[in-house]
Amino acid sequence: MGLPEILQMMLAKSPPASLRLSVDQSALASNWRALDHMSGTALAGAAVKADCYGLGVEACVPALRDAGANEFFVAHWSEVSDVARHVPPAQIAVLHGPLIDADVAYACATGAVPVINSLEQAIRWAGGGGGRCHVMVDSGINRLGLSPADLADPAIARLDIDILMSHLACADEDSAMNARQLARFQQITPQVNHRRLSLANSAGVALGSKYAFDLTRPGLSLYGGIPRPELAEVIRQVATPQAALIQTRQISAGDSVGYNATFTATHAMRIGVVSLGYADGILRAWSGAHFKYGECELPILGRVSMDMIVIDLSAAPDLREGDWVELPYFLPTAAQQTTLSQYELLTLLGTRLK
C-alpha cells in the first residue's frame, strides 16, 4: 500500500459500529448523589480506576465531576492522564503508589497524589522531594498497605499525609470482620498525623455513618452495582450493551445452532445473529440468558462465540437485519444468571463496545 492509499484510509470515516454501550450519565450522577447522601457528613469520592470500571472515562468522569465529586481514585499512573483531561491532577490519587523513581517524578510534574503503601514507598516519595500524599494502612485485608507496626517508623512521620485510609474486606457481607476492621482503624488513626480519614467503599457506605469518617470511596455502586440490600432502592442501572442484528434466518426442527451443537431446534423457528461475543466481555456464562427488544425476551441459543451470539426471534418476528436489541445488564440479576461477580460484569466489557 502506497502513501496516497494510506492517507486516504486514514482520512476515511469509519462506518457506524454494529455494537455499542449505552451509559446512562443521569443514572451515574444520581448514584453518586445517593452515595454522597448516605455518607452523611463525609464527602463521597469516586473510584474511576480501570476506565471507570469498564464504562469509559470520557463518559463517566465529567458526569461524576458535575454531580459534585472532587476526589478521584485510579490504580495505575498510566490512568492519570485520561482522568486529568476532565479534573485537576491534584484531585486524582494513585492507589498503587510510587513503585519506582519515575513514578515520583511523574507525580511531582503533574500534581497527581500517590497513596503510600509501604516504608519503601514512603522513603522513595520523601527522597524524591514529594509533598502531599495519602497513606494506606492495612486493617485486615492483607493486600496493599502499611502494617500498623510500620506507622512508628520515622519515614512515616516525615510524610505530609492528607488522607489516611484503609480498605474493608467483607463490607458486602454481615461479617464480624467489618467491626474488627473499624475498631483497628480507629486504634491506628491517632498514631499518624493526617488531615482526613477514609475507610468505606460502596458496600461500606451502606454499613452506616460510623464507617464514613471524612471521605468515602465508592466504586461499584456508582456504575450500577448493588453489593448490599440497603443500596437496592437508590442505585440505578448505568450500563446496557446493545447490538445490531447482522443476519436473520429460518431453521427447521432438528437443526443445531453454534459451536458443539449445544442447541437443537424442536420446531421451525426464526433466529438472528447479533455482533457481540466473548471478545466484548459477554462470556459463555451468558448462554441461556436472553436479549430484549422492547418488552420482548429473545433467548440466547447455543454457545456464545467470540463476536457473534444467536438469538431466538420468535417473540419479535418483525425484526430485520440492522435492528438493535439490548442485553439486560441489571448487575445483581446478571450476576445470578452468569455466576460472574458484578465487578467482573463491568470490567470485562470490551473496547469494541465503546
Does residue 6 carry a pLDDT above 90?
no
Which of 267, 318, 309 minimizes the C-alpha distance to 289?
309
Mean pLDDT of the chain: 96
Whether 49 is catalytic = yes
Give residue for cell 497513596: 115
Whether 259 is catalytic = yes
The predicted structure's pLDDT at residue 130: 85
Helix (H, G, I), strand (E, B) or coil at 119: helix
Domains of the chain with CATH codes:
24-224 (3.20.20.10), 239-353 (2.40.37.10)
Q: How many CA atoms lie within 13 A of 91 on its CB side?
A: 19
The predicted structure's pLDDT at residue 4: 65
Does residue 44 carry a pLDDT above 70?
yes
Catalytic residue among 211, 259, 292, 343: 259
- Cα–Cα dist 52/168, whole Å: 20
Residue range 122-170, pLDDT digits in tens: 999 999 988 999 999 999 999 999 999 999 999 999 999 999 999 999 9
Residue range 26-42, pLDDT digits in tens: 999 999 999 999 999 99
Catalytic residue among 49, 211, 293, 329: 49
58 within 8 A of 95, measured Cβ to Cβ: no
Give the mean pLDDT of 8-13: 70
